[in-house]
A and B are shown apart, each in its own frame.
Chain A
Amino acid sequence: MTAIGRPEPAPPRPYRFPRYERRVLGNGMRVLVAPMPALPIVTVTIAFDAGAMTEPSGQDGVASLTARALLEGTTRLGSTELSEHLERLGASVVTDADWDAGVVSVTMLRSRLEPALALLAEIVRTPAFPEGDVERLKIERLAEIMQARAEPRGLADDVFARATYAAGSRYARPHRGTATTVSALTRAELAAFHAARFRPGGATIILAGDVTAADAERLAASSFGDLAAGAPAPVPLDDGAARATRALHLAPRAEAPQSEIRVGHVGLPRAHPEYFSVLVMNAILGGLFSSRINLNLREKHAYTYFAFSGFDWRRGAGPFSAATAVQSDVTAPAAREILAEIDAMRATTPKADEVELATSYLAGVFPIKYETTDAVASALAAMAVYGLPEDYFDVYRDRVRGVTAEHVRAAAEKHLHPDALQLAVVGDAAAIRAPLEALAFGPLITYDRDGEPVASP
C-alpha cells in the first residue's frame, strides 16, 4: 500500500447545545424545555430536592426506596395496573435517587406524551406506598445490597467511602443504605419523606425532544401547576474527612484472582470555581484511555484491563479517586505506580501536548455526549440541581479550552493531597498483605467481608 499522508482536519462546523427555554410555574416549580425535533420522541425528567443527603438521620436508603416505590401504585391504580398503563404507552419510567436528587424520568413517542405525562404526574403526586409492595421492595433492595457486597468492586467502593469520610458524613455510607437501615424502614417513613421532599419549590421538570416550549409549558402547568406551593427544608452537607493522614485499608477475599484498588481522598463540590482546571487536570492524570494512569498500568505494565481516576461531583465535596483491578501478584507495584503518578502530577507542569490532548478531547466529545433527548434532559437536570449558570453549556467548550498548563499544575498542587490519600484494597490477603505493608504507606486497618472494620488486636 502506498503511504498516504495523514489527513488534515477540515474547518470545524459550528455547534450549539440545544436551545432551551425556562419557565416557572406559580407554585415555584421550574420548567425547562429543549425542543429537539430530529425524531418523534420526548424525554420528561423531573428532579426533586430529594437525594440521599436529605434523608432523616437513621434512615439511610429512604431516598432511593421512596423514589422506587413511586412505581408501586397510586391511590387510583395498583402496582400491576400502573405498570401496564405505562408500558402500553411504550413508557418505561425510571425512578431513583442519587446523592443530590430524586429523579423520575421517562421517554416515549411524541404521540403518547400527553397520557404518559398524566400518569407521571399521578405517580409523583398521589403515590400509595402500599404496605405489601414496600415490604417487597425492601427485600429486593436487601438482595441488591447482598449482591454489591459479593462483588469485589462494590465492596472496594464501600470500603473506600468509609475510609475517606468522617463517621458523621452521609458520604461515608452507601447511598442505597445498608441491610440494617433498609430493614428498619417503614411505609410511613417513605410517605413522610415523599411529603417533605417532593415539593414544587425544589423541583425542576425538563422536557427534551419533539415538543414546543408552548406545549411543554401548557402540559407542565396542567400536570403540576395546582400542586400547593412550598419548598423542602434545606439540609446541611457534611463532607468532612475521616482522617488527615494516610492509611491502608484491606478487605480480605480469599483466593481472589484480582485485587480491586481505590486510592483517593475527599475531593471538591460540583460548584467549585476551579472546576474546569480540575477537570482537565484529571483528564491528564486518569480521565481517559490516553491518560497517564491507564497508559502506565495497562499499556506499559499490563497490570490491568483498565485504570482511571475521577472526581465524583456532588453538591458537597465528593471523593477524588483512582481505581483499578489488577492481578493479585502486582497489587503493591500497581498501587505504587498510581501514587507516583499522583505525585508527578503535582511535581511538574504538564507538557503543552498533554494539555492540548485533554482540552481538545473534552471540548470535542461535548456534542457527542448530547445527541439524545435523555442526555440533554439529564444535563439540564444537573444544571438545575447544582445551580450551574444558565449559559453553562454554551460556554463549556471555551472554558475547557481556556485551561492552561499552569492552571493544571496549580490545580494539582492545590487539590491533590498525597499526604491525605487513603488506599483501599479488596483481594487475597495471604498474597497481597505483606507486599502492601512493605510500601510503608500508612497504618493498616482491616475489614471483614461486610466491609466492617475489624478491631485491631
Chain B
Amino acid sequence: MPALSFPAMRIPIERFTLPNGLAVALSVDHTAPIVAVNLWYNVGSANERPGRTGFAHLFEHMLFQGSEHVGANEHFELVQRAGGTLNGSTWVDRTNYFETVPSNHLATALWLEADRMGALLPAMTQQKLDTQRDVVKNERRWSIDNQPYGTWWEKLPELAFPPEHPFHHSLIGSMEDLSAASLQDISAFFATYYTPDNAVLSIAGDFDPADARTFVTEYFGPIVRGNGRPPLADMRVPERFGDWRRATVPDAVPLPRLFLALRSPVFGSDAYYPASVLGAVLGMGKGSRLQRNLVRGREIASEANGFTLDLAKGSDLLVADVTARPGVAAERLETETAIELDALRRDGVRADELDRALALIETAVVRSLQSAAERADKLSMFATYLGDPGLVNVQLDRYRAVTVDAVNAFAARALGEDNRLSLLYVPRDGAQAA
C-alpha cells in the first residue's frame, strides 16, 4: 500500500508573492488528476457604502459575465467544457471564486481568473447588470423571502452589531439598494478592491509547482497593483453585548425557532478555540448538551444545534439554534435554552464532554482535507484572515491544546445574561399546528 500522502495530516505548502502583491499558496498532491484553483478577494459586504447593500454579492455575479477576452457566460462554459466545477461566494468580509478542473486544464482556470482580475470592465454592460440584478433579486426571494426562517441571517447581525458597524447590514441587500446599483459602482468597486494586492490565490492538487509558477507569473504578473483601499470602519465591539437583547419575528413558519447568540472571540484568535469547542459541547452531535437535554431529555425541541459563525473581525457569534417540538410554546425555548447556558456557566464542562467534542472536531478537520477544493479554500482563508496559509496545518494542534479550564473560563465570561441575544421566530396568525 502506498504511503500516506499527508503524513501527520499536514499538507505541503509553498508560498510566493508576485511583485504586484498577489499572494500565492501551492499545495501539491497527486492522488487524483485534478487541481483546485481558489481566489479570495479581501472584500465583502462590510465594504459596501451606504445605500448599496448587497453590492459585493451582485458584483460577484458580474464576474461570471465575461471579461476582455471571455464572452458572456463563457467562463462557466469553458470550465464545464474542460470537465470542471466552479462557483463563487460572498461573505461579510471576503468574496471567493473557485474551480476544480482536470489537472491538464490548470492553465485555463488560471487564465480565466487572471482575465477577469485584469480586464473585467471592457465586458460590463448595462444589460448584463440589469439581468444579474434581477437574478439576484430572485436569489433573495428564493433564499430569504420565500423560505421559512429565511430572514435569520439578516436579523441576527442587525441585532448583534450596532448600526454603524460594517456587519450590521444585509449581505444580500435590499431590493431598493439592488435597484440603485449602477455601472459606475461596478467600475469603482472593481478598481478599489479587485486588485492583485488585495487577493490570495491558492492551488491544490495534481500539478508541477514550477509550471504553476510560470502560469501565475505570466497571467497575473502584468496586472497592475491597486491604489490602496479605504480603511474599514472600526470593527471592534465590546466583548459582551452588555444586555440580553430580544426580538420576536412572526413568520410563515409551522414551529417556533429560537436563535440564541452570544458574542465570542474572533475566528483564529487564541481565545477562539475554547469558544469553538464550547460550541461543540453545547450543540454538535446527539451527545451535545442541547440535543441530550432539550431534544432527548426534556423533549421540548425537535432539533437543536450549536456552532460559531467563524467571523474573523470585530466579534464572532456563538449561536444556539433550537426548534420547538410541536405543541411547545415559543417562550419555553428561551427559558429551557437559558437553563443549559446557566448550567454550563455555573458548573463547567466535564473532561469526557471535552473529549467527545474534540474527537468530532478532529474527524471533521481530517475529512475536509480530502478534497482539493477544500484544501485550496482553507489556504486562501488562513492567508486572507491571518496572513499565513500554513495555519491550516496547526488547526488540530490548536484544538487538541484546549483544556477544560480554558473552556470553563470562557463559559464563565461569555455565557452570562449580559451577553445574550434572542431572535425568536413564531408562527404568524395562528398558523401553528399543535
> Which A residues contact B (CB, under 8 angstroms)?
1-4, 6-15, 35, 37-41, 71, 79-80, 83-84, 86-92, 107-109, 112, 133, 136, 139-140, 142-144, 146-147, 149-152, 210, 212, 256-258, 288-290, 295, 298-299, 302-305, 325-327, 356-357, 360-368, 370-374
Cβ contact within 8 Å between B367 and A83: no
| Interface residue? B139 (CB, 8 A) | yes
Which residues from A are CB-within-8-Å of B359?
Answer: 87-91, 112
- Tell me which residues across on chain B come within 8 A of A327, comparing CB atoms: 134, 137-138, 141
Complex Cα distance, B81 from A360, in Å, reads 6
* 8 new A-B contacts at CB < 8 Å, known A1-B119, A143-B302, A302-B131: A38-B4, A38-B6, A41-B367, A83-B286, A92-B363, A143-B303, A289-B80, A302-B138
Q: How far is the CA of A366 from the CA of B73 in the complex (A)?
A: 23
* Cross-chain contact A12 with B223 (CB below 8 angstroms): no
The docked-state distance in angstroms from the alpha carbon of A327 to that of B134 is 9
Residues on B with beta carbons closer than 8 Å to the beta carbon of A90: 359-360, 362-363
Binds A, one of B152-160, B176-184, B250-258: B250-258
Q: Give Cα A4–Cα B366 distance, bound, in whole angstroms.
A: 39
Are B137 and A140 in contact, with the CB atoms below 8 A? no
- Cα separation A366 to B148 with both chains bound (whole Å): 35
Q: Say whether B3 contacts A109, CB under 8 Å.
A: no
A108 touches B363 (CB 8 A): yes
Q: Which residues of B contact A136 (CB under 8 A)?
A: 295-296, 299
| B362 and A1 contact, CB distance less than 8 A | no
CB–CB A302/B134 < 8 A: yes
Across the two chains, which residue of chain B brings its CB closest to A72? B296
Report how far A384 CA is from B292 CA in the complex, Å. Answer: 36
Q: State whether the Cβ of B222 lies closer than 8 Å to any Cβ in chain A.
A: yes
Count of chain B residues near A, Cβ 8 A: 91
Q: Quick one: closest B residue to A283, CB to CB?
A: B80
> B81 to nearest A CB, angstroms?
5
B366 touches A41 (CB 8 A): yes
A419 to chain B, nearest CB (A): 30
Partner of B218, one of A4, A12, A37, A112: A4
Task: Please report which residues of chain B, range 205-256, place their CB below 8 angstroms from some CB of chain A when the two chains form the complex.
Answer: 206, 215, 218-219, 222-223, 252-255
Contact A146 B433 (CB under 8 A): yes
Q: Which residues of B are interface residues toward A (Cβ below 8 A)?
A: 1-6, 9, 29, 31-34, 68-69, 72-73, 76-77, 80-85, 100-108, 111, 114, 118-119, 130-139, 141-143, 145-148, 206, 215, 218-219, 222-223, 252-255, 285-287, 291-292, 295-296, 299, 302-303, 323, 325-326, 352, 355-356, 359-360, 362-363, 366-367, 369-372, 433
Contact assessment for B138 and A139 in the assembled complex, using a CB-CB cutoff below 8 Å: no
- Kindly provide the distance from the CB of A179 to the nearest chain B CB, expressed in whole angstroms: 9
Min CB distance A157 to B, Å, is 15
B223 touches A9 (CB 8 A): no
8 Å CB contact of B254 from A13, A108, A147: A147
